[in-house]
Structure 1
Amino acid sequence: MRSFYEFFAGGGMARAGLGSGWQCMFANDFDLKKGVVYRRNWGDDELRTGDIRAIMPSDLPGMADLAWASFPCQDLSLAGGGAGLKGERSGTFWPFWDLMSSLNAEKRGPRMIVLENVCGTLSSHSGKDFVAIGGALRKQGYRFGALVVDAALFLPQSRPRLFVVGVRDDVAVPPELLAEKAQDPWHTKQLRAAYEKLPAAAKAKWLWWRLPKPPQRSASLADLIEKEPTGVEWHSPAETEKLLGMMSAINLAKVEKAKLAGRVMVGGVYKRTRPNEDGVKVQRAEIRFDDISGCLRTPAGGSSRQVIVVVDGDQVRSRLISTRETARLMGLPDSYHLPPSYNEAYHLTGDGVAVPVVRHLAHHLFEPILGSNNRVREAA
């Protein structure tokens, strides 16, 4: 049984992705409401709810194989204020890292450390924040590499995320898990550019992870839509007409094309502020009919909640996406308990990590590394 700590745990989606072959030794999240959901789904034995700055090394039991940290993205996001790792929220990476450093000083640092965040981490502060993360890993004796994985490879949701995977220097990495150079689709142009900005000492610790591409995804957005949605109601014809009235000619043409598809078409809509033909900023409704959802985001207002449009011939209906549908888009089973509040459930799922992405990384990277080292230890 492999062991792990789960920091910035949210609803425990990293835990869901790691699966039953992993034992959670400790979990932490600042959000009390998320803590309620975590405990309902996973029990209350491992979770400590509260500020990560208040956690001491003595609170962390034993020595975990892996420490997972999906630290807050707001200051690293392209839509954020640009504070980066100096920001109040994303800057909580540093208290987490202080804990990892303390564990290393006690000779019980995790064998692997995985950091998950938005791809804006690569370019934040002109790449300096990514350099800082790499420097932190290097100084604590970890070799590391990074991958960009889009959940759309596994689920009908566009959700590219950065995963930085660090391995302690004394942990052997099977050679078949390493590539000589960057590989598509995991090492994007943006990631390669961030790597080039690393100083020589960090580059000397860099690993190009080799990861197989998953089988072609078969599920579409329409497959995940509830026939009888829970917690939301269909818009009235007038409300749907108003939504269509917010679309540009290009987006309205997409709706008209969907009417001719000969099957039920489901499109995802986000409302965004765009300049009109006169250069005046107006709120627009933008739709996509490519069988995937737009990226779920933590709602900070009505415009960030995704609306779906269902087109069946000439019939066009619209409504908010349901919270169960958002959970499905994150790869959570229908047995997963969501908060009863729409906003809290959307916040929980929009803040999470896609479950099958974690499982793919665990199966093809984490477990082979840790399994190889377990055999070495047993033989010794």
Structure 2
Amino acid sequence: MPTFYEFFAGGGMARAGLGDGWRCTFANDFDATKASIYRENWGGEHLFEGDVAKIEVEQLPGEADLAWASFPCQDLSLAGCYRGLEGERSGTFWAFWELIRNLAREDRAPKIVTIENVYGILTSNDGLDFKAIATAFADAGYSVGAMVIDACHFLPQSRPRFFLVGARKNLAIPVHLQSDTPHTLWHPPRLLEAYSRLSDRVKRQWIWWDLPAPSAEVPTLVSIVEDQPMLVEWHTPAETRQLLAMMSAKNAAKMRLAQEAPGRQVGTLYKRMRVDEDGKKVQRAEVRFDKIAGCLRTPSGGSSRQTLVIVDGQRVRSRLLSPREAARLMGLPDTYNLPQKYNDGYKLAGDGVVVPIVAHLGRHLFGPLVRANAEAVLQAV
């Protein structure tokens, strides 16, 4: 059975995606609440609760087939003022990377290293953060490639995320796992532009990973809504009217169309600061009824929490998205134990990685890569 380390593990959502066919030998997270939920769902025998910078290489057992790292994204976005990899939180990537380098010095570097983060990593610090990470992989002896994968191909949520996958250069990479050219589904223009700025040396170690398109039917947004949600209350009619009053003419028109449509309509709404026609900043309620939820965001950093808008003809109800609904939007099963407090549950989901995306990578990239090299070793013997 292949093994993996899960750095910045949160509630263990990468572990959930890899499933029973993989064995976790080490995990870490510094957040006490997330660590507690990790233990509740997965056990804590392999969990180190603390800063990644305090991990000693001796704590990492054996030679893992995969190291996964969903390092903090705040400094790569507006919430962190775009400080990038020099920021206190996103800069923890370098502490993680030092562990990978130390493993390599002991001749037990992971066969595959994967990092996951926000789409903005491609442009933060004018692309220098992406260039620094890709160069670090190449310098450590990894062939490297990146993809942008949107959750909407698997779940009813708009959530494009950056995935960089490095394979140790001594690994044989099966032909069907790589392409001579980028794939429009996984390699959007912003990634191509970032790639163009890499050095020739790093480009020579670049791989256009070739994944199949997802084939499973995407669950509907209606199907994730709880009939009797926990930890949230329905807004009063007055509170719902206040939300409707905060809409621009464009968003009010979306509401009218939803009310005229047959059957129940489910939309999602975020409150955002916008500049009005007089140049003043005002708070607006922006709704979507395209059957896809907006990207989950944690309440920290000034982001609002996502609101559900349920329309049954002329009847309109609203409430916050529940933690269980947020977990469903990330692909966690209902058997997964969530925190007992609203903000803790919402944050755990919003900070996590989409479970079906990890499963797709495991099934179509990590697994075939590990198996191909295990077979090559057996044949050599």
TM (norm. structure 1) is 0.99
Shift in alpha-carbon separation, 1:218–1:72, aligned structure 2, 3 A:
closer
CA offsets, 1:98-156, max 9 Å, x none? 00000000000000000100011111111111110011101110000000000000000
Are the counterparts in 2 of residues 5 and 25 from structure 1 also a CA contact under 8 Å? Answer: yes
In the alignment, what sits opposite 2:239?
239
CA distance in 2, matches of 1:73, 1:286: 24
Are the counterparts in 2 of residues 307 and 318 from structure 1 also a CA contact under 8 Å? Answer: yes
Q: Does residue 11 of structure 1 match 2:2?
A: no
Are the counterparts in 2 of residues 71 and 115 from structure 1 also a CA contact under 8 Å? Answer: yes
CA distance in 1, matches of 2:219, 2:99: 40
In the alignment, what sits opposite 2:101?
101
Q: Which residue identity is paired with 1:232?
A: V
CA offsets, 1:138-193, max 9 Å, x none? 11100000000000000000000000000001111101111111111100100000
Deviation at 1:301, TM superposition (A): 6.7
In the alignment, what sits opposite 1:70?
70
SS in 2 for 1:365: helix
Are the counterparts in 2 of residues 244 and 252 from structure 1 also a CA contact under 8 Å? Answer: yes
SS in 2 for 1:5: strand
Q: Does residue 48 of structure 1 match 2:48?
A: yes
Q: Which residue identity is paired with 1:230?
A: M
Are the counterparts in 2 of residues 130 and 194 from structure 1 also a CA contact under 8 Å? Answer: yes
Q: Which residue identity is paired with 2:95?
A: P
CA distance in 2, matches of 1:303, 1:374: 46
Are the counterparts in 1 of residues 297 and 303 from structure 2 also a CA contact under 8 Å? Answer: no
SS in 2 for 1:339: coil
Deviation at 1:217, TM superposition (A): 3.5
SS in 1 for 2:67: strand
Deviation at 1:216, TM superposition (A): 6.0
CA distance in 1, matches of 2:238, 2:352: 34
Are the counterparts in 2 of residues 78 and 120 from structure 1 also a CA contact under 8 Å? Answer: no
CA distance in 2, matches of 1:5, 1:346: 25
* 1:162-201 paired onto structure 2 within 5 Å: 162-201=162-201
CA offsets, 1:51-75, max 9 Å, x none? 1111010010111000000000001
SS in 1 for 2:80: coil
In the alignment, what sits opposite 1:297?
297
Q: Which runs of 5+ in 2 are unaligned?
A: none
Aligned pairs, number: 380
In the alignment, what sits opposite 1:350?
350
* 1:137-176 paired onto structure 2 within 5 Å: 137-176=137-176
In the alignment, what sits opposite 2:2?
2
SS in 1 for 2:266: strand
Q: Which residue identity is paired with 2:294?
A: G
* 1:245-256 paired onto structure 2 within 5 Å: 245-256=245-256
Are the counterparts in 2 of residues 268 and 309 from structure 1 also a CA contact under 8 Å? Answer: yes
Are the counterparts in 1 of residues 13 and 352 from structure 2 also a CA contact under 8 Å? Answer: yes
Deviation at 1:303, TM superposition (A): 5.0
Q: Which runs of 5+ in 1 are unaligned?
A: none
Are the counterparts in 1 of residues 145 and 165 from structure 2 also a CA contact under 8 Å? Answer: yes
TM (norm. structure 2) is 0.98
Alpha-carbon RMSD = 1.0
CA distance in 1, matches of 2:155, 2:51: 32
In the alignment, what sits opposite 1:367?
367
Deviation at 1:276, TM superposition (A): 1.4
Are the counterparts in 1 of residues 79 and 301 from structure 2 also a CA contact under 8 Å? Answer: no
CA distance in 2, matches of 1:29, 1:366: 23
Q: Which residue identity is paired with 1:325?
A: E
In the alignment, what sits opposite 2:323?
323
Deviation at 1:80, TM superposition (A): 3.0
Shift in alpha-carbon separation, 1:195–1:246, aligned structure 2, 3 A:
same
* 1:29-44 paired onto structure 2 within 5 Å: 29-44=29-44
CA offsets, 1:299-349, max 9 Å, x none? 127752000000001100000000000000000000000000000111100
CA distance in 1, matches of 2:303, 2:69: 28
CA distance in 1, matches of 2:343, 2:42: 21
In the alignment, what sits opposite 1:223?
223
Deviation at 1:218, TM superposition (A): 3.5
